[in-house]
Chains A and B, each alone.
Chain A
Amino acid sequence: MTLQTDTAVPKQTTRRPRRKPLLSMAAEISGPAYLLIAICAFLLFIAGWFLATGLGVAKPIFLPSPLGVIAKLAKLAADGTLASDVGNSVYRIMVGFLIASVMALATAILIGAYRFWEAAIEPFLDFVRYMPVVAFVPLTILWSGTGDIQKFLIIWIGTYFQQALMFKDNIKRVPSDFIGFGRTLGMSDLRVLMRIVVPSAMPQIWDTLRISLGWAWTWVTLAELVAANSGLGYRITVAQRYLQTDMAIGYILVLGVLGLATDQIMRLLGRHFFKYERKS
């Protein structure tokens, strides 16, 4: 600011702290500003889409207009198809993810606390973890057909092995003095584990759950794409078969929205559960 404008502006009662330019590294921005920028990015994406279809750059059969996609989704919502597909996929995720998470947590406690079990289990988990989940799809169909069980199985294979190792890491990061403290109280190992170690690791475990829930969405879609007669993934293959690009794109968007929504629910729940971590 030059001297001239400085004198021209009437003196303000409260002086604002000078703010760093928006694009300097690690500069803080306000909550509303953050939201605004995020919304702009979405709008930009939608505008680009309108432009591409409006100018005829892409043929409707490859890329229908946003309005066309919305109209199609509205129709599917009205006749109940959308709700039943979402319901099916959410049900599969819930069951598969819950089973995987519970098992993974139990495994993680075991291998996180006992070197014996770590040696016995972890290298094997690592080995399986590197096998591509996709490669298990034909096998799971052979084993269990194309019903819900097979979907649970794919979600389980895709999340359990990763979760177990990440949970274990969460548990190992609990400071050893916490364990020492429990021992000086005369607590048994099991009690120290269940009453001190696991609760201490809970915020990190929750973060791991949140991350792995995102993967579960991928795996359920994959399983439904290959072999199913219901669910979001299934509908997308149907769309492909009948060249209904608007339906395929609509459902992909729905998957994105569902993923985002579950992630936000997990985030809010975490904030509620782990209030004690906040300073004020």
Chain B
Amino acid sequence: MQAHPKLKISHLQKSFANGRSPVQVLDDINLEVGDNEFVSLVGASGCGKSTLLSIIAGLQDHEQGEMLVDGSPINGPGRDRGVVFQSYTLLPWLTALQNVEFALRETGHEAKDITEVAHRHLELVKLSRFADSFPSQLSGGMKQRVAIARALSYRPKMLLMDEPFGALDALTRGQMQELLMQIWQEHRLTVIFVTHDVEEAVYLSDRIFVMGLNPGRIKECIEVSSARPRPTGIQHDRETLELQARVLKSIREETRRVEFD
């Protein structure tokens, strides 16, 4: 890998207390994510991919192992890692614009340019027209776009996304993926993206980490070599389809192994 990874995780262990016998959910996780790299974590449900993301975000603790962002260890959540959750987390009493402003204010931006910066980020997700709408008036896709704008607005070093499009219909999901690609292309960010949608992972990522089950671990790392920018419809190219099949096979092997244990 690169000499200076953006994120480096070594020998990470995580278990949940379950009565007297703790359940190992993540076992010896080692991974590196390069600067401006887009990586996905995929795996069957229960593989711990969301837990891993939550640990990287600092929202859950872990027993052992080390996590370094830009070479310095991280402890707990911080402004260097922005998170987009699967559930809608826009504050319902604030408009789209005010939601972005809220994040900027809480992360200590200068008061005088908060509104301008917030507007700029709503423009980035193409929601300028809805700046004064409350979340209850926005569709699911729009809410997630505001959430992305909000997470990007305070310039974290890394964007952590936990199945952000999981609750959206297929059509909207496709549009969101394109939009995200576009933003990533233009602004260069390090993204860690959790999904169970293989097509989505292959379309978006530079590399895909397939996670194994029982206990959760990194089973395989698959490189996606298709050139960028990736045109829409690339999902149906032969090369892409073959890669999707390979990722899917890798995930299936795991579920089969566990089921027939």
Contacts and interface: CB of A to CB of B under 8 A. Distances in A.
Given A185-B107, A278-B136, A180 B92 contact: no
How large, as a class, is the contact surface on chain A?
20 to 34
Contact of A177 (B79, B89, B107): B89
Interface stretch (B24-32, B80-88, B112-120, B201-209): B80-88
Contacts of A242: none
B222 interface: no
Contact of A186 (B87, B89, B106): B106
A277 B136 contact: yes
Contact of B154 (A185, A191, A195): A185
A280 B137 contact: yes
B130 interface: no
B93 interface: yes
Contacts of B103: 185
A200 interface: yes
A184 B82 contact: yes
A178 B83 CA distance: 11
Interface of B is mostly: loop
A196 interface: yes
Contacts of A279: 136-137
Interface in B42-85: 54, 57-59, 76-79, 81-83, 85
How large, as a class, is the contact surface on chain B?
20 to 34
B137 A184 contact: no
A181 B85 contact: yes
B91 interface: yes
Contacts of B184: none
A276 B90 CA distance: 12
A175 interface: yes
Nearest to A196: B91
A145 interface: no
Interface string A167-188: 0000000010110111111110
A100 to B, nearest CB: 25
A48 interface: no
Given A184-B82, A186-B77, A276-B136, 18 more contacts: A177-B89, A178-B89, A180-B57, A180-B85, A180-B89, A181-B83, A181-B85, A182-B106, A183-B76, A184-B77, A184-B79, A185-B103, A185-B154, A186-B106, A195-B106, A202-B93, A274-B93, A276-B92
